[in-house]
Structure 1
């Protein structure tokens, strides 16, 4: 035919030098690899692109040889691989091993054959858009499944680590992306023979091809070789195109010389030249070109036989799609995210040469060494991963090996983590050492045991072990999940609702949403007290578009702090503890707090919907200093380094008014029907006596006798506020602390401790629970109780949590302190887990009482008292 040119890499002909130095991105790369029964090792016979029959080619086949084929003006460049799966190459390799005395047993030789083929195939999947896998028979070889699985492990575990680094450090184009390959290549399965027992009609052939396609697809999906996300797949197959082709031409490999000799003999024997017969040989089908009356009495269905089936139209259809839109074989939510690139001819050839060195040349050089540990590990473990079956058969030949592997397989648990795997592995090694027979092979066999047990564990027994927010590993089998809520540690805790009335069992959280919001919403629906309680809402993200997303908080933004108002505008003097058991606070008018900077944004919580179930801060105190974003939300929680203008998706806090101050009786403490789970004697709030000067005496005239919690004294007002810092352990035990280092003990019913110790000091975020358990449980500060006095004052609350790790300070996110109403019982529920932009902060597993504050604290001075107006009463 004389239309396709070829050359053998790396010696390029002038035509290919010109082609592969072009800057035009117009070539679709098609790799041809697989099996061949013939000495020429050529697998392109069925493509109908060769100049002459393969048997007449002057070509010396060689394992590892790569040949380029291209037709000028065509968009397809064929890359033809000669490998150890070609009969001629494997026979030649076998003779070399036998002649050199290298051949000891078949398993070792077979391991080498598979390893060499796998290198070429893995190389092809990185430099080709399409790979045609040629099979000499008419059925899919299931051996490929184990090979594909091993190659997928290699790519995920090793290639994905070293290749992007190496490509980025070289001069290769950045278009290769983080996957460092042209795309997830499509595979086409080409079968050179069609089964004789099947019908040869067009419909029969198509039906058989569809059946084979279904079978291959199911096998590849069941073994997770192809997946919904092509980025995680070794290769892909299209969902709406044929990917199996059967050649039905029986003369595909017929020797033209033998055919000519037979034809000559036939002609000589006849002694005459049949011109009509000669013309029939040249016709595409019988009676082609003859008048219709010539075969009017014949069956037309037999006369008009279709032309020979061809493979190239299918391949050109693939190339056209690649040039126009690229390949996107991902499914479901990954659709539209597939990586696909067509490099310029020059860039592709540079990539080809570089990858050939990485995958082939360096691997076959016994003296090659590298400083890249990931690449070095890949080279060292390649043959072991590809030849898992070799280790299996080797273990069957040694009683010690067999007993060791049997011991490992006798594990009673179905799935387990690395620690238990290590214990089983050490036990198996000890079993082998008691039963081994050959001292010389002990080291080798122990390596085989380790590698075999490692494969057994990873291929079906490995536990997920993804850690929860409380540092517990997922106990499910190893699984890839993009939704963290799919994990489960199996650990269950007991926690209390927002108002403290009921308790419930909660699963170990894997997301901040589960930890700080979802669980409390579930309890809210089951707690009548929570539903009836009035609440102050904290600002959260409100989207204005459907495709909103988490903000990418840059390092420079992370160092910016929220615009915190000056505390001096709230108090005429700082809060300080007096000599006695009370504090001396100066009162200022609420109007002083409500002064708003005219230049600040007018957005406030007053814009939110209000109903009888909610109490909101005034529009002034809740003013947000900057209009929050409605397209991007804060990925973590609000803290001192959060960028301005970003709000979280949901609130991790809860601030409720559960009822009037009369709900609490200091003589009986917090009763079980009102607050569940409190330890005996640790269920009392602490009285906090506050002495303040009266700036507006008229507000308190003739009112001291009928105001609960306040009385006049020499121009000042004495307030009694009940406060409590409540801790909760994973078992649901709750207790109040009387000081930063002491749990409240109110067994006698008389509380002598003052609330000033917990108000003015930093209270630890975590403390050892006094409950009696075999293991000391770490309790966490979860609620702050406040019973406000029945006096013309307002208690302002501005809680700040400083974590020990990363030294972040978390807050409610309000621009002004929350104003608690008078003569009411308020409960602030704190977050269960704290999370910044860098991720969640894991609670400690053990907290010494003498330095509990090192792990985080509630910053002291969270309360301020201001004078109210008459309408505040």
Structure 2
């Protein structure tokens, strides 16, 4: 058996040339095949080509030269052959994925179709007869798309192909001008007939009529310049009646048959002799080959006027001439980059996406304000993407989806962003985006009372600790007049130079304060903190403490301002236990919650003296007390005093109320005596945040803002030592560095707590684990 050759390399073909051959007929096989066929088409011809050639990853046109009959058979192995596609898919996918990892499979399939179309066009240029193979008995309507695309491409390449053919000597003028030997004849081969079909010849004729009508109506065949032609008065459809059988079993059966005595296997190239007398594709094909050799084809479907303008041309070439022309045409066609007419799915996808894209943009921009937040942007973008996803189709959707996101982001960032810098209460700034040094405004306003609680005014959402805890209360106290009342001033930074700066706090110093509740209640501290207190000197006058005072703050430094306030309203007679806090004096209280709690305290003769914080931390003079059972040894009760205390909460609407216990709002009937006592309040941790009863359905969160104390006339010393832990495990904030604060006798005192708790590194927003630690109140006898 002679060796095959692969286009455009025809050197082997020229080496096989024997006697001079100047009337060659070229027959080409193309189409689709089953997986089991390994890419081979039409058994009687396809078996001339080896089945083990490497054809997995690219389209190959193999050729076989039958010098005896002067016929060249060209067999196209393309990626539309199932076997070739499956074997080469992994390699194609990797190559395509490396070029564009985000592309869809249809983009890869576009390359498959484009490669197949180029191969088909080459065969239409260099062949007399083209056999289109199909694995079943249905005409694949997708070929119409290929034919139209190839006809358009052929017209574009006609001048280029004419130029390259001119460079080849001894070619006829007609061949050079048309670029091909003739208008090739296309015949159809269907591998398997339908089931239960008796009259196969009638089926073939019906198929011919349907194919002719399709090609005629789609104007594929209309004149002498068409891509191909079909015979007018000859059969051009062949349906094989070979049964589908097991290939391995059939091969074994034939081998056993030929091994019988007297049997022999005869193969005559290029066809196998078939025993069936009536029907064979070799006889069917020989009719067309003989016509090509004798008088050529004249299959033009056109009027006489068109025939006179474009007469039919038919030529049987010489082997050398055909070989050179074939190589030239092959190189021109294969260098074509792409055939856009074949990209139906992707073109439809792109057109659909282009139509929906403006609609999605309009959905995003519909009714937008001049400036809007990131949340509004994300919401609108989601709506636009949902609209786009509902109407867009195909592989281009992802690309246009990314384009939509980019377009919407650019629209938002082109001067329409809000600042959205969070306030200390986590409300975003509602001003257009501006420089960070400019003032922010969240648009949120609260109602808050002054230090003494006598007047209420609206306040802006704070963006700094000073505005939250000092500036607002300083301004409103001037309006109220409580700035002139007796106050206890907490220590603050007093600079001695003009150029002062915040101190740098080391990590080790910050970590000293996270003590347990037990150590706090026993007034013990860790050894590092004690050593630090021993080394305490006069507070610095050149460096101030950033943030607020905590138990871990260095004692050498003080804050620039005090976040706490302790003011004396006047004598204890200002408060009436029967009337409670009057609306005229303390506005904003919810009905029946405006009472203080009576706290009966037994005073002993030998009570513990008030020890300053510095001495408490001196373990040599005052050793750390070990935990033990409390006893009243050597302590004789002398008298009992009544102290009125109250823990006040305030909600953003300005509603105020007292708690009777850590988990219960104080409720008292007007004009009656409060039944609750202050023991639970004095001896328990109180929540820093509590649901306000002003709106039961969706309660606002109220914050602990004031501590009320009415001291008795008895010779006792009432002290306040508030310690606030805004979050579980967080730092513990204190009002000053000198321990508990002593209050004067028979007076009404109100301590205002900070609105915001912050250190030099963190602001602590609302957290329901925050608490006011127990041990706020203490009563001791004044020793004479």
TM-score by length of 2: 0.48
The structure with the largest alpha-carbon Rg is 2
